Amino acid sequence: MPATLKLSELAIGATAIVRELPKSGGAGLLRLREMGVLPGTKITLVRVAPLGDPIEIKVRGYNLSLRKSEAAHVLVEVAG
């Protein structure tokens, strides 16, 4: 099985599959689940702000901006 890395460490333009989300973590991580960032979901890192925060991902056909601190809790596996 390929190694996992944090979503916040993904390279711009790379596509990955969400592998793990924390079981608890507050409103920010609950928001991610409600917006469709769930294990098995394919995501692409679209861009990163000039100072590194926030980041923009494409998930389920729409773009979503999130804080780098939130992205650090999401483990992903780089796709092909």
CATH number for the domain spanning 59: value is: 2.30.30.90
pTM tops 0.85: no
| pLDDT by 10s per residue, the chain, length 80 | 468 899 999 999 999 999 998 777 666 677 888 888 899 999 999 999 999 889 999 999 999 998 898 888 899 999 86
CB 64 within 8 A of CB 2: no
Domain of 62, in residue numbers:
5-78
Sheet holding 15-20, edge to edge: 5-6, 75-78, 15-20, 42-48, 55-59, 62-66
Per-residue pLDDT at 23: 74
Token readout for 15 is: 């596509």
Question: Token digits for 57?
Answer: 């991902």
Indicate the number of domains in the chain. 1
Q: For residue 16, give both structure tokens.
A: 């990955």
Instruction: Single out the residue of 75, 65, 60, 80 nearest to residue 19, CA to CA.
Output: 75
Quick one: pLDDT at residue 75? 93
